[in-house]
Chain A
């Protein structure tokens, strides 16, 4: 650093720790700065988003004709397995952990996460998971072909005969991903409980922080179940135990309980932070406080509890007795209540506001409207008689893609555009952002809407070939899928070129209220020169009341 040019000294405050590289190289180090780790998570997982997207486009290529003619059936089965696994374990979970990592300490006025080294370790496990998942394509017999559920007995069948096979690597990857997520969960929960700035009482916390807390609590109670199921399955394959193997007296339905006990709440682990993003983005761009903030905050925690009691709705067609079907139907439908509260709150926030249709706002609004549609089909799926018909058909595939793509990916885009100026100090190109939005909206509906009529007509999911009567809607879905693939190009172009040479954004281009907007863009290593003292609620739009005490004044006491 002795001969460092003047510019380098000026931006030295952006260094993660003294002596660390102050350029792009810091993103390739074992940094303990939550902001660096956040961006490491986001960029790494976005790479896997593209990988998973490529898999899905090959699948849509196969499905554009009824016959299995593009790729071998085993390849198709491997692709849908890896598409789901990569999208969940390497894109949706990590990217949201990344956004949470970046924002939570800034939003609660902390200098970093509670356990910075643990944080770095959780991130660096993600590339390991990625290498195992992608590397399994080279394993004897190819990657796992049993779907991302890995239901035994199909997942126990090992036609390659090799001990190191795709399914074993897949299970290892899932277990490591689980360890990473548990470490992240411990870190987030501790940070939110213990590291809030003076004056930031529970009901002065931004809704995003509430939703991250709610999501990470699910990780803590749910993941042990999935990890246990994965380890037992691994032992069944490698050591010949008989937890789930029916021919040795095991019970394959038991695995389904272990799997869904976590994997249904996992949907809320992903969607809750996105609800949080909607709750942040909409007030800023509508210039109005979040309507019913307290109820929206508490509804996140309600979802944490209700989501623990709904998992059997994935098993209505399994060997599930009637009393269980009915009980879990009622609990599953009840999830509609806290989510409904949020949706009505967002609509009321828009109402009478001063709305600016920026790119993040467009994604947020379209995201929650898509979610309303997904919620309606979700309530249909919760109803036992309807589910008995549409369970395991394309109706389900359409429903959950409206959640995972239409809602969660939209929320991720909204969050990335909204906080891009904070993360980089530069503004993205609004025009390109709107092109990206238009292509995404069109692509989403063309791809996933036709799946609903297909499911009602009786087309099962996970098929490499289908009957000619399903061809029409499949062609449309395939064309939409290719469009969705193209839609990421303006996004990549926008992010890269804006980061390199975008207009300087200033510290608070949206005139937003929130601790993260009080510090510089990008924030210095320690986030705040002085830890602020919070003196009012998080959404003070339309009234003249400062969020924090002015420097030197006495704190007004805890809220």
Chain B
């Protein structure tokens, strides 16, 4: 009897571990392509959480399903189960194990976060706690740094790109060349620094393929740093609800080789300023012409389409990630 119990338990534990490892590997396929060095760190971390999470879910589900199959009684059995009020050893174990687990996961998350070195609202950090965080920024890496981030950090300070969000458009400005665009172009394998600004409400800068997101609060200067590692076209989405045309507030992000990137900057600089295509403004104009009954309620009027050097005349067309 006891042998059978141990055997069952061992087989179930083995199965749980096998499925958890498989899920942890599988989890990479649930994301868009990894287009930055930071994305790799996040996907690795998520894989760890998925593996442990699967093990916990199966660990709880197993005994529950077993009980539901083997510990059922007939309608006419009036007896009670054994009077077991608890077990101190077990209760201590299942308090300590989660404590260790969440502290471990916190530590893993912390070290991934440090390696990402996103900055976010860095100015605020120094405002609040200069002493504590300086050391953390001075030595952000342990022995296994993310090579791309490390390399790109050692290059010259990245050129800042200004990002402006408004209801409902994105405008990107390259100050050195004085180029404006409604498409964000970035050079591959070098550190990118964005200075984010909002003209009206809070918007969110979010590129799923980059795994990076930062809310843009009006009157705050926000900085964001990351390292694109994969040439391609990706989608930028507004991630913090910003009103009527929130869902249509998207833009294309193009990661290019350094040569193509410089070429694009030069081409764009020579182009005259033209009004970009703006889905929100177009849709609003159409809705105002419409005389149908179901027109919805009053909306904040979208800002006029941005006038920029480089713009696309269609909705963002980056391929499905």
Residues of A near any B CB (own CB < 8 A): 68, 71-75, 77-78, 140-142, 145-147, 151, 153-154, 157, 159-161, 246-247, 249, 251-253, 286-289, 291-295, 317-323, 325-326, 329-330, 333-334, 336-337, 340-341, 343-345, 347-348, 350-357, 365, 369, 372-373, 376-377, 379-380, 383-386, 388-389, 391-393, 453, 456-458, 460-469, 511, 537, 539-543
Mostly helix, strand, loop or mixed at chain B's interface? mixed
Asked if B272 CB lies within 8 Å of chain A CBs, one says no
Asked if A157 contacts B201 (CB within 8 A), the reply is yes
Task: Name the residue in A68, A319, A380 with the highest tally of chain B Cβ atoms < 10 Å from its Cβ.
Answer: A319
Asked if A354 contacts B80 (CB within 8 A), the reply is yes
Beyond A253-B217, A384-B109, whether A379 also contacts B102 by CB under 8 A is: yes
Docked Cα-Cα span, A348 to B239, in Å, equals: 42
Asked if A321 contacts B124 (CB within 8 A), the reply is yes
Q: Please, which residues of chain B bring their CB within 8 A of the CB of A326? A: 110, 113
Docked Cα-Cα span, A373 to B60, in Å, equals: 10
Q: Please, which residues of chain A bring their CB within 8 A of the CB of B269? A: none
Q: Please, which residues of chain A bring their CB within 8 A of the CB of B321? A: 457-458, 469
Beyond A323-B128, A376-B56, A385-B113, whether A287 also contacts B214 by CB under 8 A is: no
Asked if B298 CB lies within 8 Å of chain A CBs, one says yes
Asked if B86 contacts A337 (CB within 8 A), the reply is no
Docked Cα-Cα span, A468 to B235, in Å, equals: 13
Of A71, A154, A345, A383, which contacts B242 at CB under 8 A?
Answer: A154
| A-B contact number at CB 8 A | 324
Asked if A356 contacts B73 (CB within 8 A), the reply is yes
Docked Cα-Cα span, A303 to B225, in Å, equals: 37
Asked if A388 contacts B212 (CB within 8 A), the reply is yes
Asked if A318 contacts B64 (CB within 8 A), the reply is no
Asked if B95 contacts A341 (CB within 8 A), the reply is yes
Q: Please, which residues of chain A bring their CB within 8 A of the CB of B113? A: 322, 325-326, 384-385
Asked if B49 contacts A147 (CB within 8 A), the reply is no
Q: Please, which residues of chain A bring their CB within 8 A of the CB of B77? A: 354
Docked Cα-Cα span, A481 to B316, in Å, equals: 30
B73-119 residues with Cβ-Cβ distance < 8 A to A are 73, 75, 77-87, 90-91, 94-95, 98-99, 101-103, 105-106, 109-110, 112-113, 116, 118
Nearest B residue (CB) for A283: B81
Beyond A294-B86, A383-B49, A385-B41, whether A318 also contacts B217 by CB under 8 A is: yes
Of B41, B72, B128, B202, which contacts A321 at CB under 8 A?
Answer: B128
Asked if B141 CB lies within 8 Å of chain A CBs, one says no
Asked if A453 contacts B30 (CB within 8 A), the reply is yes
Nearest A residue (CB) for B218: A246
Docked Cα-Cα span, A376 to B61, in Å, equals: 13
Of B68, B121, B247, which contacts A73 at CB under 8 A?
Answer: B247
Beyond A460-B238, A469-B321, whether A68 also contacts B94 by CB under 8 A is: no
Q: Please, which residues of chain B bring their CB within 8 A of the CB of A453? A: 30
Of A292, A321, A343, which contacts B91 at CB under 8 A?
Answer: A292
Nearest B residue (CB) for A139: B297
Asked if B213 CB lies within 8 Å of chain A CBs, one says yes
Docked Cα-Cα span, A50 to B85, in Å, equals: 40
Task: Name the residue in B60, B204, B287 with the highest tally of chain A Cβ atoms < 10 Å from its Cβ.
Answer: B60
A169 CB to closest chain B CB (Å) equals 14
Docked Cα-Cα span, A246 to B85, in Å, equals: 57
